[in-house]
Amino acid sequence: MRTCPETSLRVAAYAAADRPPGTGLGAAVVEFTNVSGQPCVLRGHPSVAGAGNGSPQKNVPLSVTRTGTASPVRVAPGGKAWVKLTFVQVQGEGDGYCESGAESVAYPSLVVGLPGSGAHQVALDEGLFAECDDKVTATPVSATKPN
């Protein structure tokens, strides 16, 4: 079965229900919906970059730690698949701080890519993607919605 081309996907992101304690977002779920009339396959772990100033041309690639074993996920027309991103959490109040001593960073949107399926700019319904240390932990694409 063919890999889902970039044009066949609508991508959205929202705060994960299960996330680490802290001031920032902590974790987000990225949802891929097949908007084509044909089934296709998504696979692998995502690449993730902060869209600097909301612009994908000013991407700041994040170091991705992969968790879990990746296997192809068949996505029917109108079907969905997901990845969960967990960030090094911002601590404290207000602008917050990073336990490492690094500056915390907040992105209005991320650029999330999957092998063979393009890179997609996504924003949250509310808030920003806040993180420390330019690191993110990512699950492989899954047919099961993460919490």
102-132 pLDDT, tens digit per residue, is: 988 889 899 999 999 999 999 998 888 989 9
Q: What is the pLDDT of residue 51?
A: 87
Return the C-alpha torsion angle 44, 135, 129, 56, nearest 10.
-70
| Structure confidence by residue, pLDDT tens digits, 64-100 | 999 999 999 999 999 999 999 999 988 877 678 899 9
Q: What is the pLDDT of residue 94?
A: 67
pLDDT band per the 50, 70, 90 thresholds, residue 56: low
The separation between the first and the last C-alpha atoms of the chain, rounded to the nearest angstrom, is: 28
Asked if pLDDT for residue 49 goes beyond 70, the answer is yes
C-alpha dist (Å) from residue 67 to 45, 57, 59, 93: 8, 28, 23, 29
- Mean pLDDT over 24-50 rounds to 95
Q: What is the pLDDT of residue 38?
A: 97
92 φψ region: left (φ > 0), alpha (ψ -120 to 50), beta (else): left
Q: What is the mean pLDDT of the chain?
A: 91
Q: What is the pLDDT of residue 123?
A: 93
